[in-house]
Chains A and B, each alone.
Chain A
Amino acid sequence: MDEFDSFVRARTPALLRSAYLLTGDQHLAEDLVQSALARTHQSWRRLHDAGNAEAYTRKTMYHLQVSWWRRGRVAESLTGELPEPRPRGGGSGAGEHATGSVTRITLRAALQKLTSRQQAVLVLRFFEDRTEAEAAEMLGVSVGTVKSQTAKALARLRAVAPELHPLKGSVR
């Protein structure tokens, strides 16, 4: 099982990044990744031998996220506010840093106003750069569903966060 430990430690950072976009919360992201990894652990030998442990983990994570929409809602209702983003190193000045922070806060809040599936298609398509077919396979839906959800997600983002600069202009 040392191989599993290595897998967890090597892949957790990348999984956490996707999970954070899906949940908008550090603790929920950790819970999501941990839950997906636990399921991978239960079938580790088979998944490892087949060489698809990460694919399975990611797929599980997305399905859990779609199914566990309630958890995010709970966190939202309990905390009532978004935490401050952590400070970044680098950057080219206080003004740019502040603008970037505002964008991140705005984007994170906007993502939480999408449905779980809309969040998933956005993250798959525009963060993980998956094709529509790959996203469809990952979510267990048709390519048509991915197309429609993507369009709806972008439209929703424009509606709830018109100040986000990437969302200005036409949908296509």
Chain B
Amino acid sequence: MNLDLLRADLADLAEDVIPVDLRDRTLTTSHRLGRRRTAVRTAAALAVLAAAGVGFAVLPDRGVTLLPPAVTPSVTTGPTLRGGIQTDPTADPTMDPTAERGADGTATAKPGRLFYGPDPSVGGSSAHIISWTGSGNPRELIQLPHVAAIANATVSPDGNLVAWVDSTARLLVANLDGSGQRQLLNRVDGQCWGPVFSSDSRHIGAAQVRPGGSADYRDVKGVYDLQANRFVEVGDEWRVNGCHPVWSDDSSVVAFADAMTGQVMITNRFLQAPTPVPNLGAGAQRFSFDVASIARDGSKVAIKVRERGEPAGDVGRELDANAVIDVVTGAEVRLPLDGRRMEQAMFRPDGALVVRVADGDRRALVLIGPDLRKVTEIAEPDSLAAMQLLRVAV
């Protein structure tokens, strides 16, 4: 083979590019990253991992999952206050599953138990998951590797567990107080497919990367059963391509970004016959690569919608949302936000929706009921302003 000719052709082709001055655009991007996120740094650490499909062939049931305490908890205790955030996880009222419930067990008119990850624009080697109940001081919970806390850490729907993929591609799980940490799998995709908890908090959808196949790796999708301690693979016939899955709290619907054409796909828990949400991606005026949350019944998704020509954003998980979309019609759902800009939106397991809105220089949390009427609203502490909302539990 004449590789010299290939070299010459490549050099010739490269001359087609038109030189431009990128100084101003670079600085703008840098400042945007500084304000918003730097999760893409994680892509360099985990470039071996790629996108594909998954199977959720496990039917979850309801229950409370807690792991036995680890011998060496990763969180040290000591009730101090740092930046308005209390650092004693053992005294965290959000760890009480009844804290936000009324006497009849139904959810009260509070936003719920809110779990935050770190400010993506701030570097560091580690970061705490922060919890807040809507009153009092936010509290530090488990400490995670910083990259994982930004890119893939996920809190279970029952608000008891956190799962993450570390820089060595290990899938780990622990109680939110830091106890009970254990490794579930190695060679796990931490950039694209999950991890994602099932509604019963007993299973974790994930993609395991294995050598072999037609490429240097193949990713095996499936669900890790936390009680049986096994990873249930899904047959190739159910493979779908995409990233950032969310799993409805009635277990019936999975939504994910197709990660190729900007479509948001909807399928059942077996990932059979995924269908796109209308009017998104594949040449439509608007597209999305980021699905932040899905309604309990799977009827709506909170996503980051981008206009054609707009940069597709970071390959890593982005939990920002600027629209709630009806998955059947593709129409944007009107929400009582009083004209304020939606920054994040998380559905709760009870069907309610918590929308994080910009309110001047501050942020507020608007609780919206399943009937799409506003229930209540609270101001968010300044100490949480730059953090990323990961989960709302009730």
Contacts and interface: CB of A to CB of B under 8 A. Distances in A.
The answer to whether A and B come from one shared complex is: yes
A: contact size bracket? 35 or more
Contact of B16 (A31, A85, A122): A85
Interface string B22-50: 11011101101110001011011101101
B176 interface: no
Given A59-B44, A64-B40, A165 B17 contact: no
B216 interface: yes
B289 interface: yes
Contacts of A18: 14
Interface string B42-82: 01110110110000000000000000000000000000000
Secondary structure at the A interface, as helix, strand, loop or mixed, is: helix
Interface string B301-313: 0000000100110
A83 B287 CA distance: 23
Contact of A39 (B18, B41, B261, B312): B41
Interface string A7-22: 0110011001111110
Contacts of A172: 1
Given A9-B23, A67-B315, A35 B16 contact: no
B: contact size bracket? 35 or more
A77 B15 CA distance: 25
Interface string B1-28: 1111111111111111111111101110
Contacts of A103: 9, 12
Given A9-B21, A34-B26, A126 B33 contact: no
B220 interface: no
Interface in A121-164: 122-123, 126-127, 129, 139-141, 145, 148-149, 152, 154, 164
Given A39-B33, A70-B260, A171-B1, A104 B21 contact: no
Interface of B: 1-23, 25-27, 29-30, 32-34, 38, 40-41, 43-45, 47-48, 50-51, 191, 215-216, 243, 259-262, 282-283, 287, 289, 308, 311-312, 315-316
Rank and list the top 4 A-B pairs by shortest CB-CB distance, nearest first.
A166-B5, A20-B17, A67-B43, A38-B29
Given A70-B259, A104-B16, A107-B10, 4 more contacts: A8-B26, A29-B17, A70-B312, A141-B48
